[in-house]
Amino acid sequence: DSGVTQTPKHLITATGQRVTLRCSPRSGDLSVYWYQQSLDQGLQFLIQYYNGEERAKGNILERFSAQQFPDLHSELNLSSLELGDSALYFCASSPGGLAVETQYFGPGTRLLVL
């Protein structure tokens, strides 16, 4: 158990819909990362937050957005969903958001878009 929690574990929705994925980092960690894992794209970094502020963006689509709240939990919002958005979405956390730090991964949210 990494200490990172993600809800829900599974999500099934239809094309065009909007969903919100939630992540609670390890106690004391200020930085949260979001990753997408799919068969064709592999594991891709989406976005990073540090203490409520966006720090870095990766391959995140404009239809996707995220935020980190004062209690440090984070939400990833996916809108206008397409079939290709079906994937496993991971959240990870680290203490200070530095490149040298270990990122601790949650169990993931499996999204299926029908």
Binding interface with another protein (CB under 8 A): 2, 4, 31, 33, 35, 42-48, 50, 55-56, 58, 90, 92, 97-100, 102-108
Residue 113: count of CB within 10 angstroms of its CB: 19
What type of residue is 87? A
Question: Smallest gap, in angstroms, from Cβ of residue 54 to another protein?
Answer: 10
Question: Smallest gap, in angstroms, from Cβ of residue 36 to another protein?
Answer: 11
Closest to another protein by CB, 15 or 22? 22
Query: Coil, strand or helix: which one is 90?
Result: strand
Closest to another protein by CB, 10 or 14? 10
* 17, 36, 62, 113 from 92: Cα distances, Å: 25, 11, 21, 23
